[in-house]
Amino acid sequence: MTQKYRVGADIGGTFTDLIIVNQETGAFSIGKTLTTPSDPSIAVEKVLKETLAQFNVQPEEIQNLIHGTTLVTNAMIERKGAKTALLATAGFSDSIEIGSETRYDLYDLMQEQPKPLVPRYLRFDVPQRTLQDGTEYEALDEEFVSSLAKELAENGIEAVAVTFLHSFINPDAERKARDIIQEAAPELRVSISSDVVPEIREYERASTTIANVYVQELVEKYLRQLETRLADMGFIGSFYLMLSSGGIATVDTTVRFPVRLLESGPAAGALAANAYGIATGHTDLISFDMGGTTAKICVIDKSKPMIAHEFEVDRIYRFAKGSGLPIKLPVIELIEIGTGGGSIARVDALGLLKVGPDSAGADPGPVCYGNGGEDPTVTDANLILGYLDPAYFLGGKMSLQLENARLAIKNKIADPLGISVDDAAWGIHQIANENMANAARVHSLERGKDPRRFPLFAFGGAGPVHAYRMAHSLGSPLLLAPLGAGVMSTVGFLTAPLAFDFVRSWPSEFGNIDWDYAQNLFTEMEAEGEALLLASDVDAADITHRREVDMRYVGQGHEIQVAVPSGDLNDATGDALRAQFEKTYQELYERVGPPVNVEVLNWRVVSAGPTPTVSLQVTDTGNSTTDAAVAQKGARQAYFPESNGFVETPIYDRYVMAPGLTFDGPAIVEERESTVIVGPGSQCHIDEHHNLVIKMPTQE
């Protein structure tokens, strides 16, 4: 049987999404179901079976399935990982609590610091010391490590993180400690920092290593369980996981480094937005992905999602850098806001209306789902405003209860504030919009990007409902909503290559760089990447390596990433790197740096296989039209403040709108998994890729 189908599956906080694509024809089918928090693999199996039957495809015909999950993020936020101990160089076991010794809010006398995943009584000082140049100053006390490992296992500890000082230069002590632990207590899981993140900065390196082993058992159990479910269905293809950096990896690789899954779903969404931007000629975009629990925003500059090499999880305050646990790994740089369709609205102690970040999630969900939810949410407000059709949610698979939503908002929002239910619903909707717009504005401006010149690409189940107001607030010139917006992240999975990132910290000041040693560093990382890819059945001829370095002026605390020219490294390479560094610095900060020397801190390699191409073909059912009057399937009252309240608004059927169709706002465009709200004064058309393109009205 020919394996000509590829599948992308994304588990979100509220819904699990899936797409099946025929590689030969581009035909596709999509599915969506409520996430099953107790066992996410149940929802994956359910939606896969339903979509396969709908598309008339057998599991044996699937070539590969690429999966993204919020499992790691949720485990860290909810503190549901393994009971973990930390072994650190003597005198440094409290580095994960001391942190960076900075305050994320100088004026908050009651400031709460992020709590480490390892409590103090499980942090141990190990007699051992490696110096900055990699020299062994004090040998590892092997008997101490062996005895401690046995004691930990006897007392129910499940995992151990080993982070010794300067192990990124000389990993011998960490590797020896790992071997001793595994021999003394084979049941203990062990992660060493020189494997997980061999990079300078002790606090971040330790935090990342702990997170990796903390979730390892949970991730392996889930992935093996999902593998079994897929095999029982008859799936015989390849199973891959999306990484936070935008590449994909095998299950075995992911089980070794599960912390790299932290932002897998959001990363896929940014890749999908980028792929559509390239196809439509929009090389600069703001990607806006809003689901049931969170919204994710990413700046795409010159057809490249911006990449960061450090991010935070489980922030105490969502906008406050330093209030979360640092993870020092490559990630598609995006900001995540606790605003989604399930975000709960409430009146706070000061009598102010607040929305999120707490969410009703999939269980019980918004009040209008009828699953026992009692707290009003953004989705309940959108239903009251006429933006959602209670009989056509998920294409009619799920009916919404309007009166329940009205009653919840009346009792918990409108009456306490002394306003009408409609005004309360609009307040919830608009506060959600402003929360997201403010976050997008700050995120883009901090990166030197003006959101007024970036079109907004909106997707996710709730994204297109809120995108018009988002775009209006940001001053974006255009709003783009793709067909199948509700499951767009799944498309991103299918555009990602097999890829892995490697890093070595070797601080080297220009003028003193040993280019032969630097060449060996790159060669070593490339060999490691090639071995991983060859083991994943990638042809050697298709493997590429991208070299990069992190550079800074001597004495600075932050680095800039610069691409390394191909070929052998020598003094001419140094001249080219310095010129590129100064050019990038000028672009970022509008000036050149101080008259001091430059240094390289980290040396990086990204090893990747070929990038897949995805060309989705929309099947013409025979009733497609370029006539807006024919595409209109009805009308209903919907709320637009420009029109002073509710107005009769045309409803368009997304599935019959052919390229070339034009119409003006206000309007509502419905498809099974998402709804696009178009405000007054905007001009809309369907482009050749079946995207809905909305030209925003000129603002005074």
Query: CB within 8 A of 68, min separation 6: which ones?
Result: 9, 10, 11, 241, 242, 261, 264, 265, 267, 268, 489, 493
Question: Per DSSP, which regions of 366-491 are E strands?
Answer: 456-459, 478-481
Q: What proportion of the chain, given as a percentage, has pLDDT over 90? A: 58
d(CA 91, CA 220): 33
CB of 48 within 8 A of CB of 487? no
Instruction: For the chain, give the mean pLDDT.
Output: 90
Decide: 625 and 609 in contact? Cβ < 8 Å: no
Range of lowest pLDDT (58-67, 336-345, 656-665) = 336-345
User: pTM for this one?
Assistant: 0.84
Determine the pLDDT at residue 254.
93
The string of pLDDT tens digits covering residues 489-534 is 888 888 888 999 999 999 999 988 999 999 999 999 999 999 989 9
Q: Taking 70 as the threshold, does the pLDDT of residue 159 lie above it? A: yes
Mean pLDDT value across residues 14-29? 87
Rounded to an integer, what distance in angstroms lies between the CA atom of residue 680 and that of residue 683?
A: 9
Assess contact for 376 and 405: CB atoms under 8 A: yes
User: 622: pLDDT confidence band, cut at 50, 70 and 90?
Assistant: low
pLDDT of residue 308: 85
Range with the poorest average pLDDT among 553-567, 650-664, 676-690: 553-567
pLDDT confidence band for 224 (50 / 70 / 90): very high
| pLDDT computed for residue 1 by the predictor | 60
Q: Are 67 and 19 in contact (CB under 8 A)?
A: no
Write down the pLDDT at residue 185: 96
Residue 392 vs residue 154, higher pLDDT: 154
Give the range with max mean pLDDT: 300-309, 442-451, 669-678. Answer: 669-678
The structure tokens listed for 162 are: 């080993």
What number of CA atoms fall less than 13 Å from residue 291's CA on the CB side?
28
Average of per-residue pLDDT across 665-684: 93
pLDDT computed for residue 153 by the predictor = 96
Only one residue has tokens 């140094």, namely 574
The tens digit of pLDDT for each residue in 247-292 reads 889 999 999 999 999 888 788 888 889 988 988 899 899 999 988 7
Domain ranges for the chain: 5-75+220-261, 343-429, 500-608, 628-695
Q: Is the pLDDT of residue 42 over 70?
A: yes
State the DSSP H helix or E strand holding residue 36, giving kind and residue range, or none if neither: none
Q: Taking residues 539-558, what's their average pLDDT?
A: 92
pLDDT reported for residue 353:
92
Mean pLDDT across the stretch 109-135? 92
CATH of domain 5-75+220-261: 3.30.420.40
593 vs 138, which has greater pLDDT?
138
Q: Which pLDDT value is given to residue 619? A: 66
Residue 699: its pLDDT value, please?
66
Helix (H, G, I), strand (E, B) or coil at 96: helix
Nearest CA among 332, 248, 192, 306 for reference residue 500: 248
pLDDT of residue 616: 75
Band (pLDDT 50/70/90 cuts) for residue 367 is very high
Greater confidence (11 vs 544) lies with 544
pLDDT (0 to 100) of residue 149: 97
